[in-house]
């Protein structure tokens, strides 16, 4: 699907703030994030470790980690309904059915003491179409086998009675995928689903996700720190830095004409497979402490183009092209 | 698995030899049983004669050699006081102790596991602290004191329950509570810490992502994993109960092996003491092995390893 083919907006996040309230202070891990996701689209959410990508995802699921994390501001509109205002019971109905998630580490995502079939069954029972809640056990298990076949697991009839430790990492991640989509959600969040996999398996998994998306038309929020994967997977990409999205636009535009210096530096740091082998490009310095954020641009301390106004005030979001925005004083409005 | 069991059996045999040696020499440090059996004005000849009859006259190392030689053939001697083979005395009394243990463990788990789950769910809260207090009380209360307290309240003051000896179901209540109280705390604490660890894991997150109800997440996905360390505790607890029964059975005049041990010590009944300790050790070793094998059935990762 091309970025221009506009599906309806299925998820819209507006000015999301999720902070950790600790004794030492407030960690502003997600600090004003806005983006939208359309049906059938893959939006990449890119940024370095600790920039708030995963916490954004968990805020959308409303599964914040224990220990002081709280979403204090913003809206998460899923099909027009602000799910931040839902009761916990309503939220349970939404999870799995309307919004679901694939976690990063397949080794720990499955419960070690239950067979794959059992864990899949729990998810399948939440399907909206042709409810299985009253179906006999054998029929549900047939569905489970079908679900495994759908994620390209060989000999699913045997796998169904196996335990997670009997499977490889790539296979487990496929099972997690099958579980995540068995409630037929409109939105799937994939939080670095291939980071823990071998490179050869990564590609297979990405292709699988693409295929599943084409079949179901679900929207995918694809979280990664790997720009190479973004080019392969995404229609649009949002670059996140220190709790905010600093640039967002169609993948092609971002690669060809990145507007934010951070995006440029990130793209430059992707190792090239062609040309002479030199030193790898890195971004000097450290991101600011999320507990003590500067008033100005958060990237200012590492930016080569820094000016006085960058330190004095945060640049607004500038529309730099069709569907392309950047938070930078130097960006030229379209 | 077979090799593992064989290795465990070898280790058990070595341990048993050590236990037998220690109990043989340690028992003899308590004094001479002849002093207890004869009146104070018995003559030296009478004492010498009885000592010889009991086989206590030779050098101690010779006595030990005889003991080892017989023990290898399964003969652990004859009880001085009961005039019956020590092994028979042990197995006569063993069922009386064993009938208490499942009830005590059941009580411990029935109270301890839910308490542990509740404490973990309210970590740092009022309920957690309340459960913690129960746990400390349970461990800190010595069973002879708790037993006597229970007898005082329920038998002497209220007259609801019998104070001792074996009999109908009512006779079980106080000894089981006394034994079980110690276990509640243990089960609660291990469940709590295991639950806290499991609740943080990624598969619990995935269970929530699926949209499962909180009850299923906690009582199915978390608890099943948290039960693995709880099960290990079983081995320790059954061991504790068999040894701990000495005090409880003495307080409640319960004719089990605990009380038998107590009598063997008090009457310096060396063959009986040796037999009781060795047989108890065998019992505890087998239980621990059985628990480790059972473990493999709860945790499929061990089953196939």
What one-character DSSP code corresponds to residue B85? B
CB B239, CB B287: distance < 8 Å: yes
Q: Closest partner residue to A97 among B211, B213, B225, by Cβ?
A: B211
Strand partners of residue A75:
A14
Q: Is residue B288 part of a domain?
A: yes
Residue A17: phi, psi to the nearest 5?
-125, 115
Q: How far is CA A50 from the centre of its chain?
A: 14
> What is the distance in angstroms between the Cα of A33 and the nearest Cα belonging to chain B?
22
Tell me the per-residue pLDDT of B197-212, one tens digit each, with 9 for 90 and over: 999 899 999 999 998 9
Contact B225 A92 (CB under 8 A): no
Going by C-beta distance under 8 Å and a sequence separation of 6 or more, which residues neighbour residue B84? B78
Between strands A244-250 and A236-241, the pairing is antiparallel
CA A109, A114, A117, A118 dihedral sign is negative
Q: Closest partner residue to A179 among B201, B202, B206, by Cβ?
A: B206
Q: Closest partner residue to B206 among A97, A109, A165, by Cβ?
A: A109
pLDDT-flagged residues of chain B (< 70): 1, 296-298, 300-305
The chain A residue lying nearest B222, using CA atoms, is: A111
Determine the pLDDT at residue A269. 82
Q: Across the 334 residues of chain A, what is the mean pLDDT of every consecutive 10-residue run?
A: 62 95 91 93 92 93 89 93 93 92 92 92 79 76 91 91 91 93 92 88 91 93 90 93 94 92 88 74 84 90 90 90 91 83
Interface test with B, best of A91, A112, A185 (most B CBs within 10 A): A112
The chain B residue lying nearest A164, using CA atoms, is: B301
Determine the pLDDT at residue A133. 67
Q: Is residue B227 part of a domain?
A: yes
Residue of A241, A205, A229, A213 lying closest to A44 (CA atoms): A229
The chain A residue lying nearest B302, using CA atoms, is: A165
Give B5-51 as a DSSP string.
HHHHHHHHHHHHHHHHHHHHHHHHTT--HHHHHS-TT--HHHHHHHH
pTM, two decimals, is: 0.79
CA–CA separation, A40 vs A217, rounded Å?
5
Contact B211 A176 (CB under 8 A): no
* Block residue for tokens 């220690």: B22
- Tell me which chain B residues have a C-beta less than 8 angstroms from the C-beta of A123: 210
> What is the distance in angstroms between the Cα of A69 and the nearest Cα belonging to chain B?
14
Residue A151: phi, psi to the nearest 5?
-95, 20
Contact B210 A96 (CB under 8 A): yes
Contact B300 A122 (CB under 8 A): no
Between strands A42-46 and A219-224, the pairing is parallel
Q: Helix, strand, or coil here: B129?
A: helix
Between strands A81-82 and A69-78, the pairing is antiparallel
Determine the pLDDT at residue A3. 43
Range of the domain at B245: 96-303
Q: Look up the CATH number of the domain holding residue B114.
A: 1.10.3720.10
Determine the pLDDT at residue B302. 65
> What is the distance in angstroms between the Cα of A305 and the nearest Cα belonging to chain B?
41
- Tell me which chain B residues have a C-beta less than 8 angstroms from the C-beta of A95: 208-211
**Cβ-based interface (< 8 Å): residues of A facing B:** 61, 63, 66, 88, 92-97, 100-101, 103, 105, 108-114, 122-123, 126, 163, 165-166, 176, 179-180, 183
> What is the distance in angstroms between the Cα of B190 and the nearest Cα belonging to chain A?
19
Q: Is residue B219 part of a domain?
A: yes
Contact B203 A126 (CB under 8 A): no
B261 by Cβ neighbours in 10 Å (0-12 / 13-18 / 19+) ranks as buried
A and B: number of Cβ contacts within 8 A: 77
If phi > 0 it is left, if psi is from -120 to 50 it is alpha, else beta; for residue A39 that is: beta
Residue B281's CB is within 10 A of a number of other CB atoms, namely 19
Contact B300 A101 (CB under 8 A): no
CB B185, CB B142: distance < 8 Å: no
Between strands A318-321 and A25-38, the pairing is unpaired
Q: Is residue B248 part of a domain?
A: yes
Contact A95 B216 (CB under 8 A): no
Interface test with A, best of B195, B210, B303 (most A CBs within 10 A): B210
The end-to-end CA distance of chain B, in Å, is 8
- Tell me which chain A residues have a C-beta less than 8 angstroms from the C-beta of B225: 111-113
Contact A111 B300 (CB under 8 A): no
The chain B residue lying nearest A115, using CA atoms, is: B300
Q: Where are the domains of chain A?
A: 106-184
Contact A96 B201 (CB under 8 A): no
Contact A103 B224 (CB under 8 A): no
* Block residue for tokens 């931040």: A84
Q: Is residue B74 part of a domain?
A: no
Determine the pLDDT at residue B303. 58
CA–CA separation, B121 vs B117, rounded Å?
6
| Domains: count for chain B | 1
- Tell me which chain A residues have a C-beta less than 8 angstroms from the C-beta of B209: 61, 63, 95-96, 100-101, 103, 180
CB B218, CB B117: distance < 8 Å: yes
Q: Is residue B63 part of a domain?
A: no
Residue A270: phi, psi to the nearest 5?
-75, 120
Q: How far is CA A264 from the centre of its chain?
A: 21
Q: Is residue B168 part of a domain?
A: yes
**Cβ-based interface (< 8 Å): residues of B facing A:** 200-214, 216, 221, 224-225, 228, 298-301, 304
Q: Closest partner residue to B211 among A96, A163, A166, by Cβ?
A: A96
- Tell me which chain A residues have a C-beta less than 8 angstroms from the C-beta of B299: 112-113
Is the confidence metric ipTM above 0.85 for this complex? yes
Contact B213 A92 (CB under 8 A): yes
């Amino acid at each position: 699907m091309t970025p221009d083919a506009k599906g309806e907006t299925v998820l819209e996040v507006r000015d999301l703030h999720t902070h950790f309230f600790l004794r030492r202070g407030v960690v502003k891990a997600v600090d004003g994030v806005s983006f939208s996701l359309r049906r059938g689209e893959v939006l990449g959410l890119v940024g370095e470790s600790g920039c708030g990508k995963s916490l954004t995802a968990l805020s959308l699921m409303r599964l914040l980690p224990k220990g002081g994390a709280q979403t204090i501001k913003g809206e998460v509109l899923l099909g027009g309904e602000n799910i931040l205002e839902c009761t916990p019971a309503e939220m349970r109905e939404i999870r799995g059915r309307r919004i679901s998630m694939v976690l990063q580490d397949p080794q720990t995502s499955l419960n070690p003491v239950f067979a794959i079939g059992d864990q899949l069954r729990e998810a399948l029972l939440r399907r909206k179409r042709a409810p299985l809640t009253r179906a006999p056990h054998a029929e549900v298990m047939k569905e489970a086998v079908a679900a495994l076949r759908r994620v390209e697991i060989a000999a699913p009839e045997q796998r169904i009675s196996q335990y997670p430790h009997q499977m490889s990492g790539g296979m487990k991640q496929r099972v997690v995928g099958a579980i995540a989509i068995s409630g037929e959600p409109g939105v799937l969040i994939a939080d670095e689903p291939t980071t823990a996999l071998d490179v050869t398996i990564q590609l297979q998994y990405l292709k699988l996700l693409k295929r599943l998306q084409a079949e179901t038309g679900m929207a995918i929020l694809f979280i990664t720190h790997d720009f190479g994967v973004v080019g392969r997977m995404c229609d649009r990409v949002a670059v996140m830095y220190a709790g905010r999205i600093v640039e967002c636009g169609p993948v092609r535009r971002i690669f060809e004409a990145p507007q934010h210096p951070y995006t440029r530096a990130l793209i430059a740091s992707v190792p090239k497979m062609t040309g002479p082998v030199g030193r790898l490009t890195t971004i000097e310095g450290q991101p600011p402490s999320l507990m003590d954020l500067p008033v100005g641009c958060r990237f200012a301390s590492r930016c080569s183009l820094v000016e006085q106004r960058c330190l004095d005030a945060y640049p607004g979001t500038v529309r730099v092209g069709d569907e392309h925005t950047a938070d930078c004083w130097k960006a030229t409005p379209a | 698995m077979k090799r593992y069991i064989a290795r465990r059996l070898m280790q058990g045999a070595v341990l048993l030899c050590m236990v037998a040696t220690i109990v043989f020499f340690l028992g003899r440090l308590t004094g001479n049983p002849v002093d207890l059996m004869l009146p104070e004005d018995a003559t030296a000849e009478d004492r010498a004669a009885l000592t010889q009859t009991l086989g206590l006259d030779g050098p101690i190392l010779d006595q030990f050699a005889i003991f080892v030689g017989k023990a290898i053939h399964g003969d652990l001697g004859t009880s001085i006081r009961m005039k019956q083979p020590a092994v028979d005395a042990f197995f006569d009394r063993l069922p009386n102790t064993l009938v208490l243990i499942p009830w005590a463990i059941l009580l411990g788990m029935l109270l301890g596991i839910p308490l542990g789950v509740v404490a973990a769910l309210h970590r740092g809260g009022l309920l957690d602290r309340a459960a913690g207090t129960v746990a400390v009380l349970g461990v800190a209360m010595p069973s002879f004191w708790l037993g006597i307290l229970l007898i005082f309240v329920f038998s002497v003051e209220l007259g609801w329950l019998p104070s001792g000896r074996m009999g109908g179901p009512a006779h079980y209540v106080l000894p089981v509570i006394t034994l079980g109280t110690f276990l509640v705390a243990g089960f609660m604490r291990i469940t709590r810490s295991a639950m806290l660890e499991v609740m943080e894991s990624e598969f619990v997150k995935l269970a929530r992502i699926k949209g499962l109800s909180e009850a299923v997440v906690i009582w199915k996905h978390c608890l099943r994993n948290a039960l693995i360390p709880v099960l290990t505790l079983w081995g320790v607890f059954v061991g504790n109960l068999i040894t701990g029964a000495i005090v409880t059975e003495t307080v409640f005049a319960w004719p089990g092996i605990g009380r038998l041990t107590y009598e063997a010590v008090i009457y310096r009944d060396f063959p009986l003491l040796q037999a009781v300790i060795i047989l108890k050790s065998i019992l505890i070793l087998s239980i621990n092995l059985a628990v480790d094998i059972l473990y493999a059935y709860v945790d499929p990762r061990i089953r196939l390893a």
